Structure 1
Amino acid sequence: MIRTGLIGYGLGGCAFHAPLIDAVPELALTAIVTSRADAVRARYPQTKVVSEAAALFVDPQIELVVVSTPNDTHFPLAHAALEAGKHVVIDKPFANSVAEAEALVTLAEAQGTVLSVFHNRRWDSDFLTVRKLLDDRAVGEVALYEARWDRFRPALRDSWHEIAGPGGGVLIDLGPHLIDQALALFGPPQTLTADIIAQRAGSRVDDYFEITLHYGRMRAVLSSAAIVPAPRARFAVHGTRGSFVKYGLDPQEAQLRAGARADAPGLGVEEATQHGALIGGDGASQIVPSETGDYRRFYAGIAHAIADRAPPPVSPEDALAVLRIVELARQSAAEGRSLPFQ
């Protein structure tokens, strides 16, 4: 059993990390850093509650530290955990800058510890379906890949996500999910072009972005907007043999937020009404049942990496590439031009 300490029991810690860690047999949810002691004890009575992250760093029993806190704290907490010789998982984003992320990679290599980033959306039901269709060449040669994550939130919220600074805004919030998925499918682009703006009145952070990744003649368009009452397709993949179009989000987040166990039957299984459609060049359409999503696979991979020195499920290099895209996108939008990816 790999004794695991979790820093943070907000949405990320409560709905994602704690139930997933608890559902992987090789991991033990040993301690949680939070002020919400009653909430933890009600669900995880065997888990110790501590008030300071430093308690995890000095505890010789804790092998793995998971950082699920506001973005601005990812770097200092992860750095301290690595210095203490712990394996570390960081919720996305990896850090607020490429420079910070590179410092963490260097430290993890020096310490000989596992470092990974929670890009859980690689195990979304819809993304797994897209990946399978592309592996099967169901749409032929891809010409246009579109991935969008829209919301209808015209009112500003009292949240750290909407505080001006490098850790705020939708690009650093949802952008890493979309970017990581595109890189997992197609690898690094040659160039990119981005448009980033705050559309809501009074917003101090970006709430709209569209990034186009250039792959020769193929384009991957990644976008998110906060004022979309009727969401656009979550995925739309167009190729020489047809298109795949899919609406709606993977159900795991909603299920976990509602209190479902991560190993419950039916978790990650989409309703048939949410399945996407494959449309051929002749206009014929067929429904494609979604693959079953399973975020547990991330933490099972982390356990394997720690115990058996296997590659982590998300490598630090992959997470660094995501942040490089984020930084280049900001530069592209500011300068109004396409930029090479290096």
Structure 2
Amino acid sequence: MSKQVNVGVVGFGFSARTFHIPLIVSSPHLNLVAVVERHDTKSQKAYPGIQTVKSTDELFDMANVDLVVVTTPNDSHFRLAKEAMEKGKNVIVEKPFTVTSQEAEILVQVSKETDRICSVYQNRRWDGDFLTVKKLLDNGHLGRLVEFESHFDRFRNFSKNGWREQEGQVGSGMLYDLGAHLIDQALTLFGVPKSIYATISNQRQLQGTNVADDFTIILTYENNLKAVLRSSMLARQQPVLRFSLRGMNGSFVKHHLDVQEDQLKAGILPAEGNYGVESEQRWGLINTDLAGGVHVVGNIETEKGDYLSYYNNVAEAILDNNNSARLDVKPEHGLLCIRVIELAQQSSDENRTIFF
């Protein structure tokens, strides 16, 4: 595993500039060599030495590109990922994996047939707050969990008129955007649910928005566990609720969103010492009974966030002879996530509980 993986990125929009390329150039296992920009060369100015190409065909034909990162609008993910793998490239697809489960099933199969690594960019498995929650649950500090509530709220009472908020754009709206993160985190912790009930709405319709901007998804599991996933564009309260967990022994509540997005926007990279580190004022609060009858009330230090681990994991799987078993985020995970999105939409449309 001494060599590096050469990376080509499709697109140089917000997602590529903020969430992907800064991590790619920070990984010791990856080497950025090319970016697809149809009308400009901004990436070459930002990263001297790389090549700018005008089309995905050019990128896919580059012999020195091992890994293609797709950061384009959701409805193009399937086509580009499929073409890249068929051209012999490994692929990372920005979430959501695809816009239908049928497309996702095909990508899973193509990955197997071509023996190419295929992964979905579910970076928020490495949010510091999520890592903290996972650690609390793994260690049983709350006892048997009965309710898991996860929020990803923002406040914007107008439309930015981007493709994510355009009526008729396949895969637009909050459910495919922030919902893909919340759903993946729940599936990572608890697996496939027994049933789904969801309400999905457009609360800003009178302000000219035309897509879903609010949802509540309730996943039910064995042992009376309920996972509530909530997102709204009209949540102005500060600080925003992020997690609320209730167990037989106690509870945990966490406010504030993970710091890594704001840090990456500000140009702070993983090599810097404060990257991924939350201040004490943002730590969550636990109130629970531990083993031996010890009652604990207080703040729990948030684990250090680490988006770079996602990219390092993909690189290591590629360098290990395309060993997909090493992948943390597999294409099958992307398939399950988009299937839950479809069933949530069906539940909302039909106003009923959907059983797996």
* TM-score band w.r.t. shorter chain: over 0.9
Report the aligned-residue RMSD: 1.5
Deviations 1:299-325 (A, max 9, x none): 111111111114212011111111110
In 2, distance between residues paired with 1:43 and 1:261?
Answer: 15
Structure 1 residue 77: Cα displacement = 1.2
In 1, distance between residues paired with 2:304 and 2:340?
Answer: 29
In 2, distance between residues paired with 1:82 and 1:186?
Answer: 31
Which of the numbers 191, 203, 224 marks the counterpart of 2:209? 203
**Which residue pairs with 2:300 in the alignment?**
288
Task: Report if the CA contact (8 A) 1:71-1:93 is conserved.
Answer: yes
* Amino acid of the structure 1 residue aligned with 2:345: R
* Amino acid of the structure 1 residue aligned with 2:7: T
- Residue 234 in structure 1 maps to residue 238 in structure 2: no
SS of the residue 2:246 aligns to: strand
Matched residues, number: 341
In 2, distance between residues paired with 1:71 and 1:173?
Answer: 9
SS of the residue 2:251 aligns to: strand
SS of the residue 2:110 aligns to: helix
Deviations 1:11-38 (A, max 9, x none): 1100111011111111111101125755
Task: Report if the CA contact (8 A) 2:70-2:81 is conserved.
Answer: yes
* Amino acid of the structure 2 residue aligned with 1:77: L
Structure 1 residue 329: Cα displacement = 0.2
**Which residue pairs with 1:93 in the alignment?**
96
Unaligned runs of 5+ in 1: none
**Which residue pairs with 1:162 in the alignment?**
165
Structure 1 residue 215: Cα displacement = 0.6
**Which residue pairs with 1:148 in the alignment?**
151
SS of the residue 2:241 aligns to: coil
**Which residue pairs with 1:251 in the alignment?**
259
In 1, distance between residues paired with 2:30 and 2:160?
Answer: 35
In 2, distance between residues paired with 1:276 and 1:138?
Answer: 14
**Which residue pairs with 1:300 in the alignment?**
312
- Residue 31 in structure 1 maps to residue 34 in structure 2: yes
C-alpha change, 1:294 and 1:136, in structure 2 (3 Å) is same
**Which residue pairs with 2:352 in the alignment?**
337
Structure 1 residue 49: Cα displacement = 1.5
**Which residue pairs with 1:185 in the alignment?**
189
Which of the numbers 61, 70, 73 marks the counterpart of 1:70? 73
C-alpha change, 1:197 and 1:152, in structure 2 (3 Å) is same
* Amino acid of the structure 2 residue aligned with 1:65: V
Task: Report if the CA contact (8 A) 1:9-1:36 is conserved.
Answer: no
Deviations 1:188-232 (A, max 9, x none): 101110000101123211000000000131100001011111154
Unaligned runs of 5+ in 2: none
SS of the residue 1:171 aligns to: coil
In 2, distance between residues paired with 1:284 and 1:89?
Answer: 42
SS of the residue 1:244 aligns to: strand
Identity rate of aligned residues, in percent?
Answer: 42
**Which residue pairs with 2:274 in the alignment?**
266
In 2, distance between residues paired with 1:233 and 1:10?
Answer: 29
In 1, distance between residues paired with 2:163 and 2:172?
Answer: 7
Deviations 1:140-194 (A, max 9, x none): 1101000001111111111001012322100001001000000111111011100
Normalising to structure 1: TM-score of the pair? 0.96
* Amino acid of the structure 2 residue aligned with 1:330: Q
In 2, distance between residues paired with 1:257 and 1:326?
Answer: 28
Map 1:290-329 to 2 at 5 A.
Answer: 290-308=302-320, 309=323, 310-329=325-344
* Amino acid of the structure 2 residue aligned with 1:242: G
